[in-house]
Amino acid sequence: MDTLNIDTKSQLAKLIATENITVQQNNVKTASFDVVNRVLTLPIFKTESKDVTDMLVAHECAHALFTPTNGWKKIADDNELRAYVNVLEDCRIDAKIQKKYPGVITNYLNGFEILNRQNFFGLKDKDYDKDLMLIDKINIFYKSSKKLLFNFSNSDNLWLKQVDSLKTFNDVIRLAKKMLEWQKKEVKKLKKLPDFDDHILVKNYDLNDKQNDSKDSKDIDGEGNEDNNSDKESKDKQDGEEGKTESESKQDKPAVGDKTAKDENASGSGAVGAGGDMPLGSITNNHFEGHKQKLLDTSKTYTYRSIPEPILNKVIYSNDNFLKDMKQSFINDKTTAKEYLPYLKKEYKKFTSESKKTIMYLVKEFEMKKAATAYKRATTNKTGTIDPLKLHSYKFNEDIFKRLTILPDAKNHGMMMLLDWSGSMSDTIFKTVQQTIQLVSFCQKTNIPFELYFFSSEMDKDDDRSYKRSYGFKYKHGDMSIDKITLVNVASHKLKKQKLDESLMYLYHLAMYYDHRYSWRSNWSGEYRPDSVGIPGKYYLGSTPLNEALIVMLKLVPMFKAKYSIEKMNLITLTDGGGNHGSSDTMKYSEDEKQLVGTHPDHYGDDVLIYKKKYHTVKDENYGYRSTGFTGTLLNLLRDYHGITTIGFYLIKRIRRWETDMYFRPYNPKLTWEQKDKQFAKNKQLFNKDKVCTVVQKGYDDYHIVNAKDMKVQNADLEGINDTMKPGKIKNLFSKSMKGRITSRVLLNKFIEKVA
């Protein structure tokens, strides 16, 4: 049994609906259409054939297109009439959808044949001509696309012509009333027959007078309780409906053209007819509705949410504002400006100066690898010009022409970096910022357009910190509620060199502040303690809104690529853990508050993100963590829709067994435990040797586990060289120093390996 593919089938539904509606599938018994918010909800069908599924989807969409939502209110209290209208309306809308989309005709033909073989219509061992009333003959005849053979009489054919001529829902009601009255007269004729009680129609449709009299007596006479309760219940229901707004009534309405099980049973055998007459209904339709539950997949439940559009000028904190905040914090403290600022400038300049030679070495490596790759793709062609140096061999050599080697143009690179500004980064943030500054310097030297942001949960402009939703997004009905997120632009290729250096210096200052505030420094030998210098409160460390930052990237990345004609775009995340779990609320319009409000889902199931009108199921493939599943899905959206390379750096500060086991041992059900153990040993060996290893992680082209404890950038240490040292020892010391300088720049090395 194949479960309906959520994306493919919803596209079929959208195609049939021919309008911009949202199509969702969920653990529901019948389809429904929310006309206010334009949401069509379908059951999750589980069938042996896609023809059955396509037939059912087409039928439900036909109701959404052609059946008026308020049409059923006209006959709400007449169960017999509802049964006849239901059959005739199905005939009308199925004919219209097949005419509009001829491609579904085959689905209807094959789908009916499959369901009929499984006795979904209760036709097993039945004589179609003798065992069924006209309404059921019509139902099966049209459900089979008129392929089943019936011996219709001349009078029956007149009814069929009227069914074929149905144009509107009002036409359906008129014909249903007419046919119902005719059928009642035919049943009264049956009552005059001597063998009435044994007649096949009486048995099939439960028309025996004694049984009906008994039921009528129980319902109408008896102690009067059931009748009174029924009247009271009906009145309460009507009062409740009258108190609702039009939109609420529409949203609460069951599926267009479909009835609840209670309604269907009432319209079939055993129910009291209008005016106390004998009950009539469609036994084939009732049988189908009862057995349709077998087609439903009740094991799955989905929570649908679309991705809201970020308002960039609200969610991004500009570099100008960042510099203004930092400068103001120094101006407010004259002592800080006088004593600490010179120290900060000296420390930052020392770091950048010591790194310069290593950066240039890595730039050269990058250019060489790019050239080598281009050479591999080079093509050599004849020019058509004779080569004089080969002319002497013209008698025995046909190839005497000059050749031209064509090297393909180098691709334009681009890079965006996301730096984690969360509390758990406090004791590694200084090392990470050092690595990040190296990466920025590299981009400068190679003229790669870049942007560096750190993502924070502490800078949302909303003063009410207890209210978590970010106001930096443009919400609509059905959007996911986004937690607080701000992206601080601390570096960009657009900045002039002086301004960029100043911005990176302040970032260096923030990193030193947390390094010396949260790391144990029993004997700090620096000239000034950075943790004694205050920083603006908005730059405090908070939670990890990584997923929220990636949602912003869905808008920012394509804009960046288009503006700078980027052919090879890279997104780098630097974090020490998974993102926040995020809000599970969905934005819905509240009639009471007259605005969108965050609403908890009625039921929790697999998350489905709607992006660019397509559906993407969030699967917790990474050790069952919901936030990691979201991260992988968002990264896949960036890769699939915007053609980028994703590189992740996960910083481990303490080499704990559970943490290394989590990432070094592959989470792959197809691998045996021995294979997982073998991969675990290999990853751990690489990690111990190189301080970094690459593992598989959903959404990332490369995911690097980094030993943050030993990630400090090393520069050349040649202080041990003296005049008495032998040349061989000097060479070894120099080589060892250079190796340490290169390998300590983990981020830069891995980036070069991936993108060059």
In angstroms, the first-to-last Cα distance of the chain is 47
Instruction: Give the residue from 579, 551, 565 showing the smallest Cα distance to 635.
Output: 551
Residue 524: half-sphere exposure toward Cβ, Cα within 13 Å: 15
Q: Is the pLDDT of residue 486 over 90?
A: yes
Identify the domain containing residue 284 by its residue range.
2-300
Q: Is the pLDDT of residue 731 over 70?
A: no
Question: Do 246 and 321 belong together in one domain?
Answer: no
Average pLDDT (663-688) is 80
- C-alpha to C-alpha distance for 302 and 28, rounded to whole angstroms: 11
- C-alpha to C-alpha distance for 550 and 315, rounded to whole angstroms: 12
The CATH number linked to 447 is: 3.40.50.410
Average pLDDT (414-443) is 90
More confident position, 7 or 575: 575
| The token pair that represents 245 in the structure block | 């707004």
- Give the containing element (helix H, strand E) for 271: none
Average pLDDT (644-664) is 77
Q: How confident is the model at residue 378 (pLDDT cuts 50, 70, 90)?
A: low
- Give the containing element (helix H, strand E) for 85: helix 79-100
- Over the stretch 380-400, which tens digit does the pLDDT of each residue have? 555 567 667 777 776 667 676
In a domain, 699, yes or no: yes
Give me the chain's average pLDDT, please. Answer: 77
Lowest-pLDDT range of 1-5, 96-100, 307-311, 316-320: 1-5
Question: Do 294 and 315 belong together in one domain?
Answer: no
Q: Is the pLDDT of residue 230 over 70?
A: no
- pLDDT (0 to 100) of residue 755: 60
Domain boundary among 270, 300, 330: 300
| The token pair that represents 552 in the structure block | 């912003």
Question: Do 241 and 319 belong together in one domain?
Answer: no
Question: Do 245 and 361 belong together in one domain?
Answer: no
* DSSP 8-state secondary structure symbol assigned to residue 386: E
pTM: 0.72
- C-alpha to C-alpha distance for 318 and 312, rounded to whole angstroms: 10
Percent of the chain at pLDDT exceeding 90: 28
In a domain, 601, yes or no: no
Q: How confident is the model at residue 222 (pLDDT cuts 50, 70, 90)?
A: very low
More confident position, 291 or 219: 291
In a domain, 305, yes or no: no
Average pLDDT (654-670) is 69
In a domain, 394, yes or no: no
Q: Is the pLDDT of residue 542 over 60?
A: yes
In a domain, 595, yes or no: no
Question: Do 422 and 515 belong together in one domain?
Answer: yes
Q: How many residues does the chain have?
A: 756
Question: Do 326 and 289 belong together in one domain?
Answer: no
Domain boundary among 241, 276, 300: 300
- pLDDT (0 to 100) of residue 587: 86
- Over the stretch 508-526, which tens digit does the pLDDT of each residue have? 999 988 887 766 543 445 5
In a domain, 379, yes or no: no
Lowest-pLDDT range of 306-310, 572-576, 579-583: 579-583
Q: Is the pLDDT of residue 136 over 90?
A: yes
Question: Helical H runs in 101-208?
Answer: 105-117, 134-143, 154-164, 169-191, 200-205
Question: Do 296 and 348 belong together in one domain?
Answer: no
Percent of the chain at pLDDT exceeding 70: 71
Question: Do 203 and 344 belong together in one domain?
Answer: no
- C-alpha to C-alpha distance for 126 and 136, rounded to whole angstroms: 12
- The alpha carbon of 81 is separated from its chain's Cα centroid by a whole number of angstroms, namely 44
Question: Do 341 and 229 belong together in one domain?
Answer: no
- pLDDT (0 to 100) of residue 219: 42
- Give me the number of domains the chain comprises: 2
- Over the stretch 23-39, which tens digit does the pLDDT of each residue have? 788 888 777 777 667 78
* DSSP 8-state secondary structure symbol assigned to residue 133: -
